[in-house]
Structure 1
Amino acid sequence: MPPSANTLMIRKLESIFPLSNEERQALSELPIQVMVSKPDQDIVRVGDRPSQCCMLIRGFTCVYKLTAEGKRQIVAFHVPGDIPDLQSLHLKVLDNSVATVSACTLGFIQHEALHDLCNRHPRITAALWRETLVDASIFREWMTGIGRREAYNRMAHLLCELKVRLEAVGLAEDGTFDLPVTQTELADAIGASPVHVNRVLQELRGDGLIRSKGTQVSILEWEGLKAAGDFDPLYLHLRKDGNA
């Protein structure tokens, strides 16, 4: 049975921050309204003034920006347990959009409830702050990749990152995970064309680093993929890596 929204939130925060039993209990009692959304739907848009945050329970979402010509740059993928618009708790006007990539189950948490939780449990405030800092760290790594790595290396790095992040919330096993992302969306994330993404994925398969079938990806040679992507998980600041 999939974990509940509250359990998933606890699991995600504990991957980056140690929680006490009292804090886990407070998080388990946080009111979360669960809704289901279709793929390719905006959850929030640039200029919105949301009164709630959205936690991803199932599926994939992305954060994106559009140029004046309507070209899209995906600046982050989010996996279950993430809160893609957590900054809306303090930044009242959004400067990016968040959309579903696949069919998603979403949990909406009122800002008022989060503020109350943080006032009662200051260490949860620290955990949520750390979550936003890790998001910023991931963004810096993506910027480095787009600016300084070739498409083959950017794709290898992205697959390494998603594997580690999904493992942290129990959604990847033995290097295999679900990746319900189209080649067009991958192209918008790594700054390449869909045709180039297709070629890069073929090269990764041909080099014996990955296997893919449908939406499922299996990493066959972890050390080789890490080397190809110049991947060091330090920037994810996961507790199991000793970085907390």
Structure 2
Amino acid sequence: MTASPLSPSLSANALMIRKLDTIFPLSNDEKQALMELPIQLVKIDTGKDIVRLGERPQQSCLILKGFTCVYKLSVGGKRQIMALHVPGDIPDLQSLHLEVMDISIATISACTVGFLQHVDILRMCERHPRLTAALWRETLIDASIYREWLLNIGQRDSYARVAHLLCELLIRLRAVGLVENHAFDLPITQEEMADTIGISAVHVSRTFQALRANGLIETTRTRIYLPDWEGLKEAGEFDPLYLHLRNAP
């Protein structure tokens, strides 16, 4: 399951094409239309909101570098991270048709983001109707991931939750060429992981210690290596079906 690292020279449009092509077969004309889609590149620091609950954006964001999260806050200020997004993802694509944002999206690490104006996306889809289906499939897969996360948090113990999430991230990052020899960057703190899988930061630390002790993961400060892929899949009850990738292992 080795993939070559993402080329530093890969354009924003090329990354978007690479990601969409993993879930939907694109024609050469459709790829050319995506290559011509205007994208404004912006660098955003760690811990900054890209879009907030209640806003009415006129653009969607394509993640080019770094990790972002979708989150909501309780009345008491407690945060639940509802999704993690990696390069190639468009986490607020639903804003193309839902005028008011019902979520917030923030950077987990320093990110490079490409903004796509809704008017440009709609114009492209009018000329290339199959791209409407490709983008629709992207949002449907997001919904599929939400359903799997609900099962993960609701019915699995903390050990399986973490194992499952790590398996998912490896497969999603591998699809866009960001996994090398079962290793990838994981720029997420214990507190953010806790908000993601619904346990305390202390419990996250203990769970990672257990996974390391059982030889399922090796970690450095921001990078993780999965030496026993089959063992980790078994621990996390992981089946990549819900990711709907065309060439999923």
Q: Report TM bin, short chain.
A: over 0.9
In the other structure, the counterpart of 1:28 is 35
In structure 2, stretches of 5+ residues that fail to align are: 1-6
In the other structure, the counterpart of 1:229 is 236
In the other structure, the counterpart of 2:227 is 220
CA positional deviation for 1:4: 1.0
Q: Secondary structure at the match of 2:71?
A: strand
Q: 1:177 aligns with which of 162, 171, 184?
A: 184
What letter corresponds to residue 10 of structure 1 in structure 2?
I
Partners of 2:147 and 2:84 lie apart in 1 by 14
The CA deviation string for residues 126-181 of structure 1, in whole angstroms up to 9 with x for no partner, is: 00000000000000000001100001100000000000000000001211000001
What letter corresponds to residue 69 of structure 1 in structure 2?
G
The 5-angstrom pairing of residues 182-201 of structure 1 reads 182-201=189-208
Q: Which runs of 4 or more aligned residues in structure 1 lie more than 6 Å from their structure 2 counterparts after TM superposition?
A: none
Q: Secondary structure at the match of 2:199?
A: coil
Q: Secondary structure at the match of 1:240?
A: coil
Partners of 1:45 and 1:230 lie apart in 2 by 34
The CA deviation string for residues 70-129 of structure 1, in whole angstroms up to 9 with x for no partner, is: 000000000000001000000000000000000000000000000001101111100000
In the other structure, the counterpart of 1:117 is 124
CA positional deviation for 1:241: 2.9
Q: Does 1:55 align with 2:99?
A: no
The 5-angstrom pairing of residues 89-104 of structure 1 reads 89-104=96-111
What letter corresponds to residue 216 of structure 1 in structure 2?
R
Q: Does 1:105 align with 2:112?
A: yes
CA positional deviation for 1:189: 0.3
The CA deviation string for residues 16-72 of structure 1, in whole angstroms up to 9 with x for no partner, is: 000000000000010000000000000001100000000100000000010000000
Partners of 2:223 and 2:105 lie apart in 1 by 23
What TM-score comes out, normalization by structure 2 length?
A: 0.96
In the other structure, the counterpart of 1:69 is 76
- State the identity %: 64
CA RMSD in angstroms comes to 0.8
Partners of 2:248 and 2:42 lie apart in 1 by 33
In the other structure, the counterpart of 1:41 is 48
In structure 1, stretches of 5+ residues that fail to align are: none
What letter corresponds to residue 42 of structure 1 in structure 2?
D
What letter corresponds to residue 146 of structure 2 in structure 1?
F
What letter corresponds to residue 98 of structure 1 in structure 2?
I
In the other structure, the counterpart of 2:3 is none
What TM-score comes out, normalization by structure 1 length?
A: 0.98
